[in-house]
Structure 1
Amino acid sequence: MQITSNFDSGNIHVVAAEQADNIQLEIKKDNQSEYFQWFHFKLHNLEHIEHTLSITNAAQSAYLEGWPGYQAVASYDREHWFRVPTEFDGQNLIIKFTPDYDSTYFAYFAPYSYERHQDLIHNAQLDIDCQLQVLGQTHDGRDISLLKIGEEGAGKKTIWLTARQHPGETMAEWFMEGFLDRLLDEDDGAARALLNKAVFYVVPNMNPDGSVRGHLRTNAVGVNLNREWDNPTLEKSPEVYFVREKMLETGVDMFLDIHGDEALPVNFVAGSEGIPSYNDKLKSLEEQFKKILLQITPEFQDEKGYEKDEPGKANLTLASNWVGEQFKCLSYTVEMPFKDNELLPDYSVGWSDNRSSLFGRDFLTAIYHVVDDLR
């Protein structure tokens, strides 16, 4: 039996693996951080018998409420990911699985590799409307890549999307893949109409170092990027520093920051109700945007989500709050589940990479319906 995580976004420590019915594992912490929850590893065993894999430090992970009702994902080919029987006993996350083939990958959610990220941005640049820009480098020397889609013009809006500030939230880049695929589709009427009215600035992966390192929430030096937006530094958070500088250069009329939530089994958005400049105009835009999403996709809901901030009490270190206050614009955090969407459960795959991608495509329709009202 062999268990390894020595690959892109891999994360696991093997405690014991002598017997198939008593494999003991631990998730490794993000570098220079106490956060951990993301796991991604490969099991190779020629015996096609039931395996019991116990993640023994699950009770000490970052989001304990993420485990009840959660089912891990597995894959034989790294393309199709399916859910496997998983339970949390209060201490251990226990996966029971009988493999059909010799080698099986397991993960917290369908991974989005750095190589796929490179394919995404470099294929996008082939479109006549798209330009691939490099804003700077991360601590590990990786590019902070930005896709500019569309051309500036009189009266055109500026729309920004960012994803994977928290690298373990891979559904965010799957969302981006679907969004970009539709935005760059010359046969899509909504996409063509939007590019006549707006310029898009898209950062599909804000945290490439954390993604490759197998982190849940932080960059290479243990910094949570979504707590850096009021005062980012090159020493701690170059990713936010360079993106924010570009935003100050271009201006922002709308912003979406794409994330995943460990605990809530639904899709939802979190607005900027608590920023000092929040007013009736922003409230109307938020309500309009949510109403449109409710009309176009049953995957979205607005009953469950985060508690709204009290007036003037927003945490301006968060991206959506800082952007909303700085640019007085519609600014949302978009959250998707690690579990299933309880409104439309799929017991085979749960909330998945493909569903995240389709959800990203839906957002283009919603943006189309609000773009004229953004300013």
Structure 2
Amino acid sequence: MLTLSTAFDSGAIEVIDLSDHANIRLNLRADNASAFKQWFHFRLAGTAFRECVVHIENAGQSAYPGGWDGYSARASYDGVEWFCVPTEYENGVLTIRHQPQRDVIYYAYFEPYSWERHLQMLGHAQYSPDCVVRELGQTVDGRPLDMLRIGTPETGKRKVWIIARQHPGETMAEWCAEGVIGSLLDPQHAVGRALLNKAVFYVVPNMNPDGAVRGNLRTNAAGTNLNRAWQTPSMETSPEVFLVRQAMEETGVDAFFDMHGDESIPHNFVAGCDDNPSFSEHQRELEEAFKRLWVAVSPDFQTEYGYGPSQFGPETLTLATNWVGDRFGCLAFTLEMPFKDTANHPEPDVGWNGERSLQLGASMLTALNGVIDRLR
């Protein structure tokens, strides 16, 4: 008998018909308080050695239907090792064709990053004498919003802020943040050691705990898109942004990185704050220098493909990168990673995944080390 479950961390899908393993009919489920939908994560049981054909019938009504072209769903037997499975998109329907080799299998939009792993990472990090975990406050659902302070605050040190996963379905963002955290806390990592001599890092690896656990694509439990709330956050609808902004005002910001995933563009790229009216020549020079350095140290980063000018129009200063760049006059970037595989360096068996995101985060520190003395 074929069964389906989403009753676990980040589980999300709606069942239409499970009567035939060769014609499993599903729908994407919208965020709990918003119409955004694209994330899915579900468990099938009773599948062993039979080809399963899964039709997600409302994929054409998703938040980013252009993201399905060239996309491959991810699958796992144990929730640890994830791999790509044959996926096609036609006439608004996303179809996954796969013959599982075990009786139970998980399918997901992208490799998940669980709340349990998040809590374990925080616990492990605070063993380091260089790290303090601070609870900034609580989310709409009452979960802790945690920040890691890595490094010892001293006069003259730069303040580097890194946030990830404002959009909870963009799980590659927290994988990337883990790569940064792990490198900074590794006593054998030369770049990490050098940076902590000159800077203090403030890292919020999951800006949207409620949305992450609920299986939302883009919003928190109140239905707020956090990356459009930076001008006027509130404790009622966007406490995550309100609390992080408050902490930034306490520390100051000399560099800022906001980690995300992009549904359509099969590349890793950054978007700066050059659309800001206040954008300065110093910020421009820092942006260009940082990008040159990152291209030099990581083949997975590139600058040819990305967002065009004025991508966000009147919403510009509601975005984290633009608001921070304007408020603090600092180097500020949004990092975008793909849900698809990278076109320049594809790995078809696994696609762009958690491990590659983690390594990209680690490589970012080498580029940052090259500009750290020029931040102010």
Q: TM-score range by the shorter chain?
A: over 0.9
Match of 1:298 in 2: 299
Match of 1:180 in 2: 181
Q: C-alpha displacement at 1:240, in angstroms?
A: 0.3
Match of 2:309 in 1: 308
Q: Give the root-mean-square deviation of aligned CA atoms.
A: 1.3
Structure-2 separation of matches of 1:118 and 1:125: 11
Residue aligned with 1:154, SS: coil
Matches within 5 A, 1:99-110: 99-110=100-111
Structure-2 separation of matches of 1:7 and 1:301: 36
Give the counterpart letter for 1:159 in structure 2: V
Matches within 5 A, 1:51-62: 51-62=52-63
Structure-2 separation of matches of 1:208 and 1:340: 26
Residue aligned with 1:235, SS: coil
Structure-2 separation of matches of 1:78 and 1:315: 37
Structure-2 separation of matches of 1:88 and 1:345: 20
Tell me, yes or no, if structure 1 residue 221 matches structure 2 residue 257: no
Q: C-alpha displacement at 1:31, in angstroms?
A: 1.4
Give the counterpart letter for 2:364 in structure 1: F
1:113-139 CA deviation, whole Å, 9 max, x = no partner?
000000011111110000000000001
Match of 1:261 in 2: 262
Match of 1:193 in 2: 194
Q: C-alpha displacement at 1:277, in angstroms?
A: 1.5
Matches within 5 A, 1:362-373: 362-373=363-374
Give the counterpart letter for 2:69 in structure 1: P
Tell me, yes or no, if structure 1 residue 42 matches structure 2 residue 64: no
Is the contact between residue 48 and residue 104 of structure 2 (CA under 8 Å) also seen in structure 1? no
Match of 1:342 in 2: 343
1:323-353 CA deviation, whole Å, 9 max, x = no partner?
0000000000000000000000111001011
Matches within 5 A, 1:1-375: 1-309=2-310, 315-375=316-376
Is the contact between residue 228 and residue 315 of structure 2 (CA under 8 Å) also seen in structure 1? no
Q: C-alpha displacement at 1:163, in angstroms?
A: 0.2
Q: C-alpha displacement at 1:280, in angstroms?
A: 1.1
> Which stretches of structure 1, 4 residues or more, deviate above 3 A after TM superposition?
none
Give the counterpart letter for 2:212 in structure 1: S
Structure-2 separation of matches of 1:22 and 1:47: 16
Give the counterpart letter for 2:50 in structure 1: I
Residue aligned with 1:333, SS: strand
Is the contact between residue 48 and residue 101 of structure 2 (CA under 8 Å) also seen in structure 1? no
Structure-2 separation of matches of 1:133 and 1:47: 45
1:215-236 CA deviation, whole Å, 9 max, x = no partner?
0000001100000000100111
Is the contact between residue 72 and residue 84 of structure 1 (CA under 8 Å) also seen in structure 2? yes
Structure-2 separation of matches of 1:50 and 1:18: 14
Change (3 A) 1:12 1:20: same
Give the counterpart letter for 1:318 in structure 2: L
Structure-2 separation of matches of 1:11 and 1:66: 18
Residue aligned with 2:173, SS: helix
Q: C-alpha displacement at 1:91, in angstroms?
A: 1.4
Is the contact between residue 52 and residue 95 of structure 1 (CA under 8 Å) also seen in structure 2? yes
% identical aligned pairs: 52
Structure-1 separation of matches of 2:269 and 2:135: 31
Q: Which runs of 5+ in 2 are unaligned?
A: none
Structure-2 separation of matches of 1:314 and 1:233: 17
Is the contact between residue 274 and residue 313 of structure 1 (CA under 8 Å) also seen in structure 2? no
Change (3 A) 1:41 1:365: same
Q: C-alpha displacement at 1:152, in angstroms?
A: 1.3
Q: C-alpha displacement at 1:308, in angstroms?
A: 2.1
Give the counterpart letter for 2:157 in structure 1: K
Residue aligned with 2:132, SS: strand
1:171-228 CA deviation, whole Å, 9 max, x = no partner?
0000011111111011111111110100000000000000000000000011000000
Change (3 A) 1:47 1:188: closer
Residue aligned with 1:136, SS: strand
Structure-2 separation of matches of 1:249 and 1:271: 23
Q: C-alpha displacement at 1:46, in angstroms?
A: 4.8
Q: C-alpha displacement at 1:309, in angstroms?
A: 2.8
Q: C-alpha displacement at 1:373, in angstroms?
A: 0.3
Q: C-alpha displacement at 1:319, in angstroms?
A: 0.1
Structure-2 separation of matches of 1:286 and 1:271: 7
Q: C-alpha displacement at 1:47, in angstroms?
A: 4.0
Residue aligned with 1:316, SS: helix
Structure-2 separation of matches of 1:220 and 1:45: 33
Structure-2 separation of matches of 1:225 and 1:314: 12
